[in-house]
Amino acid sequence: MEFITGKQLDRRTFLRGMGAAVALPYLDAMVPAGRMSGAVARAEAAKTPLIAIEEVHGLAGCNDWAATQYLYAPEIIGKDFEMVPNSALISLEPYQDYLTIVSNTDVRMAEAFTAPEIGGDHFRSSAVFLTQSHPKQTQGSDLFVGTSLDQIHARRFGQDTPLPSMQFTIPNIDQAGGCTYNYSCAYTDSISWASPSEPLPMIRDPRVAFDMLFGAGGTPAERAERRAMRSSILDWITGEVTAMNRQLGSEDRVRMEQYLNNVREIERRIQMVESHNTTGEERAIPEAPAGVPDSYREHMEIMFDLQVLAIQTDMTRVITFKTGRDSENRVFPESGSDRPFHPASHHGGREEAILEFNKICQYRVGMLPYLLDKLQNTVDGGTNLLDKSVVMFGSPMADANIHNHRRCPLIFLGKGNGILEGNLHLKATDGTPMANVMLTMMQELGHTDMENFGDSTGGFMLRSAGRTTAQEVR
């Protein structure tokens, strides 16, 4: 470790200039020398980042026939499972040591409780995912569902970060007015709830997220001026970077250079998207802001880049990400299917149509390795962010063809500072609420006094207990 003796940098150090405030990554110079260094390192390790990602429409592998083909849950239960080539999760195979699959859990709070709610599954499910609570059917302001787990976590472990939580989205959301089946669009458009009646806004435009992270211009006029000049935010802090480097050891200077190059590259990509989308050419998503790429993959990757930056700089440790909107008809040509997303999910139980929908599922899950690679290659306090983080990916729906909420998909990625083993498939007993798994995860994250969550009926063992097959369990 190399830094100037007695010159400890504060973890909340910012480089400032012209309205910009660029937070720094974790550096050796931030670790105090002497007796307290070990305690500080342990405290940092305890701050486990949480990224919760929602997938709408479930996965093709949650259909009864597809389950026999292991398109989601592998045949082997326990350690060292194998995924079939057609598995929706096959793109995660290189990260199997970081992958925990949980199968056979139910999200019954997304089901219809009364006759008027029948058919409205798409319009209440997203609100259920992280609350595991049943939404009140209303198009008015009297919303009621539950407080989402990300906000429970942020309230307890995110108050010492500049942004207690961040909420990202890919689809267009408006959180205004009523959707179908007498449900407010707020239920469809948000997965983060600060209270049972308070949905949180979600960020769709990468430019908005970038400006939040880096304070890019103190006023709208300053931001507009900088964009008009096509200058980088880093140009505003050149002097501060030079002065900072004089205080750092050689390893920290290398980290700083890599970090600032990454910031500049992400900003350059956002500028390129904005430039392309303001040429007047016809857009694939005409209603989207200029900073939103027409390409689903490009949009996802930029959002993942921003999320990793947010965690790397400890601007936030709690992130939610909504990757789709229920009932949307977007087409994903790169998946190899020309079917719109929602119609493809209603496959009628036909094997050929299920496999067609599975192509889309494979493609969408296939976005995750980009995030995992970024986390694994980002060193923070002596370890990488994939070892430190918990990435939860799941859906409140199982077989979208029949709007089923039984045997919904849920996976965890990362090691979460030792919370998760990885290389593990856990199959719940029939009737187990997904809330049980979430409750145990929250307890593992430090909520040791948390006794219930949503419709939980108890905890769930997140450790291996031998190795068997799906047939043997039956």
Q: Tens of pLDDT along 248-296?
A: 999 999 999 999 999 999 999 999 999 999 999 999 998 899 999 999 9
pLDDT at 7 over 70: no
Cα 268 to Cα 15, 245, 262: the distances in Å are 20, 23, 10
Q: Does residue 88 sit within a domain?
A: yes
Q: Does residue 25 sit within a domain?
A: no
Question: What percent of the chain has a predicted confidence (pLDDT) above 90?
Answer: 76
> What pTM was estimated for this model as a whole?
0.93
pLDDT value, residue 1: 31
Q: Tens of pLDDT along 406-417?
A: 999 999 999 999
| Those residues with Cβ within 8 angstroms of residue 338's Cβ, 6 or more apart along the chain or in another chain | 331
Q: How many CB atoms lie within 10 A of CB 228?
A: 8
Q: Does residue 224 sit within a domain?
A: no
The Cα angle at residue 144 between residues 140 and 149, in degrees rounded to 5: 140
Tokens (6 digits) for 121? 């599954």
Q: Does residue 237 sit within a domain?
A: no
Contact between residue 442 and residue 152 where contact means Cβ atoms under 8 Å apart: yes
| Those residues with Cβ within 8 angstroms of residue 399's Cβ, 6 or more apart along the chain or in another chain | 58, 62, 63, 64
Identify which of 244, 375, 235 has the alpha carbon closest to the alpha carbon of residue 309.
Answer: 375
Q: Does residue 461 sit within a domain?
A: yes
pLDDT-derived band at 227 (thresholds 50, 70, 90) equals low
pLDDT value, residue 437: 98
| Those residues with Cβ within 8 angstroms of residue 35's Cβ, 6 or more apart along the chain or in another chain | none
Q: Does residue 3 sit within a domain?
A: no
| Those residues with Cβ within 8 angstroms of residue 39's Cβ, 6 or more apart along the chain or in another chain | none
CA dihedral 111→116→119→121, nearest 10 degrees, is -40
Spatial distance between the Cα atoms of 112 and 135, rounded to a whole number of angstroms: 10
Sequence length of the chain is 474
| Those residues with Cβ within 8 angstroms of residue 97's Cβ, 6 or more apart along the chain or in another chain | 422, 423
pLDDT-derived band at 20 (thresholds 50, 70, 90) equals confident
Number of domains forming the structure of the chain: 1
Spatial distance between the Cα atoms of 167 and 190, rounded to a whole number of angstroms: 9
Q: Does residue 254 sit within a domain?
A: no
pLDDT-derived band at 4 (thresholds 50, 70, 90) equals very low
pLDDT at 3 over 50: no
CA dihedral 102→380→210→413, nearest 10 degrees, is -10
Identify which of 388, 322, 318 has the alpha carbon closest to the alpha carbon of residue 151.
Answer: 318
CA dihedral 410→415→420→426, nearest 10 degrees, is 40
Identify which of 445, 448, 452, 388 has the alpha carbon closest to the alpha carbon of residue 157.
Answer: 445
The Cα angle at residue 416 between residues 414 and 422, in degrees rounded to 5: 45
Find the CATH number of the domain harbouring 133. 3.40.720
Q: Tens of pLDDT along 107-158?
A: 999 999 999 999 999 999 999 999 999 999 999 999 999 999 999 999 999 9
Domain that holds residue 148: 50-204+303-473
Q: Does residue 93 sit within a domain?
A: yes
Burial 95-110 (b: 16+ CB within 10 A, else e): bbebbbbbbbbbbbbb
Range 288-308 average pLDDT: 97
